[in-house]
Copies of this chain bind each other. A is one copy, B any other.
Amino acid sequence: MADFSPIRIDDPRDPLLDDFRNLNASDKKSGEQLIIAEGTLVVPRLLASPYPTRAVVGFPGKLRAIEEELSCSLSGDDATFSVFEVSREVLKEVAGFDMHRGLVASADRLPTSAATGDAGTSAVEAVLDRLEENPEASGVIAVLEGVGDHENIGSIFRNAAGLNVDAVLFGAATADPLYRRSVRVSMGHVLRLPWARFPGTTTTWQRDLELLQRRGYEVVALTPAGDVTLREATEAARGRGKKVAVMVGAEGPGLTEHAMRAADVRASIPMTRGTDSLNVATAAAIAFYEAVR
């Protein structure tokens, strides 16, 4: 195991800490920001992910807690990141709030030509190719349309990872899964689970669902106005030897008519009359549970 010696920084103005400056304000900037992972559970998941770590900053005790993961990562060929040790006061001054987790890391996004998180049909196909080579794949993937809430995106990744869903594909108008809040709520699973974006606009991306159908997936649209129940839809798909793509839309508007029409079947979770729909991440979790056997 390689050794690592964190660099102690006592001046909050040190430019080496610039990745972590005023994090709440950075969240509000438009465009894609650096990936930020927080805490002793999620930072090791970033280190183990394909995203290139830039820096890790933490209280002395927190750095010791992930010493092994840091040493392993730093002994890799492509290890280029720095480890900085700071006090609670310095981190607070830099981040702009009291970061009681005491551990935070930054990473670069991957270029769009990489297999993960790319925009373009080829990215979706690259993910599907990888799944076909994976003997442990469950045969269930998620497709999101219009899910704009970062917390819901994060929860969907956490649920997908826990319930053995293979990948998450993004239709149009879906929020950035690498946003800091999504990373945190997902418990780092957005950094591990394969995902890709369909190209196209809010009215054209749905054409590429045909890609999934050609690869043996039954596209099940989850909607309160389904023709069959979720159980009927997934059992029928399995009966025909199909894999399942569970497609969900945003809370409130739900799936677009274009997405509904492109699906193979519209299915509902049986609900109490007169109640609101479930939260989208909860509905998706139930669908993942039902589809994965």
Q: Of residues A164, A275, A281, which shows the largest number of chain B Cβ atoms within 10 Å of its Cβ?
A: A275
A275 to B193 CA separation, bound complex (whole angstroms)? 12
Residues of B within 8 A of A271 (CB): 162-164
**Is residue A289 contacting chain B, with contact meaning CB distance below 8 A?**
yes
With A162-B275, A277-B162: A269-B289 Cβ-Cβ less than 8 Å:
yes
**Is residue A96 contacting chain B, with contact meaning CB distance below 8 A?**
no
**Is residue A282 contacting chain B, with contact meaning CB distance below 8 A?**
yes
How many monomers of this chain does the complex have? 2
- Interface size class on chain A is 20 to 34
**Is residue A272 contacting chain B, with contact meaning CB distance below 8 A?**
yes
Residues of B within 8 A of A189 (CB): 275
Tell which of B41, B281, B286 touches A286, judged by Cβ atoms closer than 8 Å: B286
On whether the beta carbons of B159 and A276 are closer than 8 Å, the reply is: no
**Is residue A270 contacting chain B, with contact meaning CB distance below 8 A?**
yes
Q: Of residues A161, A163, A282, which shows the largest number of chain B Cβ atoms within 10 Å of its Cβ?
A: A282
Nearest Cβ on chain B to A162's Cβ, whole angstroms: 5
On whether the beta carbons of A270 and B292 are closer than 8 Å, the reply is: yes
- Residues from 27 to 44 in A contacting B, C-beta threshold 8 Å: 41
Nearest Cβ on chain B to A17's Cβ, whole angstroms: 30
Interface, chain A (partner B; CB < 8 A): 41, 155, 158-159, 161-164, 187, 189, 269-272, 275-279, 281-282, 285-286, 289-290, 292
